[in-house]
Amino acid sequence: MVVGAVWDNTPDMQVRTKPVAEVLDFPPLPEALRQFVDWVAHYTLSKRGEVLALGLKASLLTVPKRRAKKFTFGGADVSLVGPDLSPDQTAAAAALRTGVATGTFSVTLLDGVTGSGKTEVYLEAVAACLAAGRQALVLLPEIALSVQFLQRFEKRFGAAPAVWHSELTPAVRRETFRAVAEGRANVVVGARSALFLPFPALGLIVVDEEHESAFKQEDGVMYHARDMAVVRAKFASASCVLCSATPSLETVENAASGRYARLDLPARHGGAQLPRVSALDMRAHPPERGKFISPVLAGAMRDTMARGEQAMLFLNRRGYAPLTLCRHCGHRMACPNCSAWLVEHKSHKRLICHHCDYGTPMPITCPACAAKDSFAAIGPGVERIAEEVREAFPEARVLMMASDVIAGPKQAAEAARMISDREIDIIIGTQMVAKGWHFPALTLVGVVDADLGLAGGDLRAGERTVQMLHQVAGRAGRAEAPGVVLLQTYAPEHPVMAALLSGDLNAFMAQEAVQRRPGHWPPFGRLVALIVSGPDERMADQVARTLARAAPSGAGLEILGPAPAPFALLRGRHRRRLLLKAARHIDVQSLVRDWLARTEIPRSVRVDVDVDPVSFM
């Protein structure tokens, strides 16, 4: 049995259709959604059905004979008075409300420093949207971020919004999907796939932390939820608000050119001050041998806890150690399926690949030389930092926050409660802790390795690093007590460190634009990545070379590659990359579609097309 959707009333008579067995009792897909699906399919060079399947699945349309639980949706009370706003917040909220009230398409960048109260501002736009009888969608990059947001939403409107993400049970997903389609769920908070829900009266889309790379889907239909949110809003004649303390260069340039409106919140709410940021030159303040926390940072942690305040250590690396090495022969434990080292997870006594989830028990003897107990852990992950902290501060109550420890909203809610209730002294986390959280007693943030992420040839490495570290720094001093941020670095003179110390991210982004514009790198040019992969390395390489010979040419076009991808082997498939670089005015979709059509691709080889790539792995 195949479940389909009626798309239009002008059928293609060349396509044979199956007889209709049953018409499901479900509202028709709104025209704005159908237009959006068609647009995404064209833009990403995907099939319409693949795009539609991002939101529409057969399991969502069928109603079980017995419905075990009654679900309620809606109930947000827009008459409730929100919190007191600062003059800057009041002006920004008024501008957003005006945009929503017009009932027409608009895009606004809401740029405010960390702790400036951006959420409270865009919730006023949500209130205006609901008052106009329309639906609102709030996209969050991390599902764990929904914990404190849902609490703030319920406090503001007296009822919780509908939630949409992959952790929902089938019953909740089915009921939420139907409630959205019938207009009963008037506010949805969700992950990127919520863009494909069948809203009949969508009036507002908010993309919170719009700079986050988590909004980019890296497999299947490769789309960026930030960019697609703008398109979704256009088809729905809705307002779109892109919100961030560290907006992407793409969004900054769109605002500078006048394509987007811009609202700024330059100060923290309630008189709180931005934290004082300092760089710890690890050449001058090295940690003890075998340790990773400098004496200066350790002393600051001790002083913070003595005042009854909380400290956070940030390291964007899961596990205990990123590399396991035999001291006897130098053998490195690698994943058999990927071009990647296995990461030690000491708590599970396993070596795990973070790319394909392959795992094996921690070996006793080296598989290369049979030496016993010869393995050394090279480099730190958050587990190793937690071990060091517990040794240095045995009396401290330590909480580790990483995606393999905090697996879902329930665990995130409990972690947030423990921190807010002062049951935790030291938080140790990965990028999960870098954004969205509000912990009033947290006054010290220590970045264990501020240089992590700056190496490599990624054109956005500096931008991403400054965004992440500025966000994690923003967790400190969000209430009355002042905040301090210490960056452990071997390159304090690096432009990223200079930007973080000065707090002038606008100057940093302006310099990024200066560096990218002459070479026509995004956002001043277009990129399309072609990833050729297959189980046979020779065949993948041959297809990549064939594609290169058939590549389009002309003014404003450049082909880079083919070359082995940084992960030349991923999940058992050998990979080659080609990159099409084009001027902004060029229709890259038509070029790539014709390019692929004139190239014979064996069935064992797959060519994935990534328009506007974010990752270059």
Residue 571 to residue 24: CA distance in whole angstroms: 39
Q: Can you tell me the mean pLDDT for 310-328?
A: 95
What tens digit of pLDDT does each residue of 113-156 get?
988 899 999 999 999 999 999 999 999 998 766 778 888 999 99
Is residue 354 one of the residues assigned to a domain? yes
Q: Are both 309 and 278 inside the same structural domain? A: yes
Co-location of 370 and 386 in the same domain: no
Q: Would you say residue 569 has pLDDT above 70?
A: yes
* Pairing status of strand 310-314 against strand 442-447: parallel
Do the domain assignments include residue 28?
no
Q: Is residue 11 in a domain?
A: no
Does one domain contain both 399 and 293?
yes
- Give the C-alpha separation, 512 to 134, whole Å: 39
Confidence band, pLDDT 50/70/90 cuts, at residue 4? confident
Instruction: Tell whether 161 and 243 lie within a shared domain.
Output: yes
- Across the chain, what does the average pLDDT equal? 91
Residue 276 lies in a domain: yes
Tokens of 419: 């921190």
Domain of 372 in residue numbering reads as 323-378
Per-residue pLDDT reduced to its tens digit, 35-74: 999 999 999 999 999 999 998 887 777 766 665 566 788 8
Q: What is the pLDDT of residues 421-443, one digit of tens each?
A: 999 999 999 988 887 788 889 99
CATH of the domain at 396: 3.40.50.300
Using alpha carbons only, give the angle 538, 543, 549 rounded to the nearest 5 degrees. 125
Average pLDDT, integer, range 453-465: 86
Pairing of strands 187-190, 135-139: parallel
- Residue among 227, 276, 249 at smallest CA distance from 506: 249
**Least-confidence region, from 28-32, 269-273, 338-342:** 269-273
**Where are the alpha helices (H) located in 393-504, listed in sequence order?**
409-420, 461-473, 495-502
The secondary structure of residue 372, as a DSSP letter, is B
Structural contact between residues 310 and 424, judged by C-beta atoms closer than 8 angstroms: yes
Per the domain annotation, does 70 fall within a domain?
no
Q: Is the pLDDT of residue 504 over 80?
A: yes
DSSP 269: G
Same domain, yes or no: 197 and 286: no
* CATH code, domain with 605: 3.30.70.600
DSSP letters along 62-116, please?
---SS--S--------TTS------HHHHHHHHHHHHHHHHTS-EEEEEEE-TTS
Query: Which pLDDT score, from 0 to 100, does residue 433 have?
Result: 85
- What does the alpha-carbon distance between residue 160 and residue 409 come to, in Å, rounded to a whole number? 15
Is the CA virtual torsion 569, 573, 574, 577 positive or negative? negative
Which amino acid makes up residue 102? T
How many CB atoms sit inside 10 A of residue 565's CB?
Answer: 21
Report if residue 53 sits inside a domain.
Answer: no
Lowest mean pLDDT among 66-75, 144-153, 486-495, 556-565: 66-75
Residues 189 and 122 in one domain: yes
Torsion of CA 71, 73, 79, 82, to 10 degrees: 90
Contact 341, 335 (CB under 8 A): yes
**pLDDT, tens digit (0-9, with 9 covering 90-100), for 276-301:** 999 999 999 999 999 999 999 999 99
Q: Is residue 200 part of a domain?
A: yes
Residue 51 belongs to some domain of the structure = no
Residues 252 and 296 in one domain: no
Q: Which helix (H) or strand (E) segment is 453 a member of?
A: none
530: which residues sit within 8 A by CB, 6+ positions away?
A: 547, 577, 578, 579, 580, 592, 607, 608, 609, 610
Q: Which of 55, 91, 68, 362 is nearest to 232 (CA)?
A: 55
Residue 487 pLDDT? 97
Which residue has 């041959």 as its token pair? 542
Query: Do residues 368 and 402 share a domain?
Result: no
Question: Could you give the maximum distance between any two Cα atoms of the chain, in Å?
Answer: 77
Decide if pLDDT at 444 tops 80: yes
Count structural domains, the chain.
4
Q: 441 with 356, same domain? A: no
Mean pLDDT on 545-549: 95
- 8 Å CB contact between 320 and 551: no
How far apart, in whole angstroms, are the C-alpha atoms of residue 436 and residue 485? 17
Q: Are residues 234 and 374 in the same domain?
A: no
Rounded to whole angstroms, how far apart are CA atoms 474 and 436?
Answer: 9
Task: Mark whether 259 and 288 lie in a shared domain.
Answer: no
Task: Quote the pLDDT of residue 512.
Answer: 94
In 3-state terms the chain splits into helix, strand, coil percentages (rounded to 5) of 35, 20, 45
- Which of 204, 275, 280 has its CA nearest to residue 245? 275
> In terms of pTM, does the model score above 0.75?
yes
**Contact predicate 522/250, CB 8 Å:** yes
Q: Judge if 241 and 290 occupy the same domain.
A: no
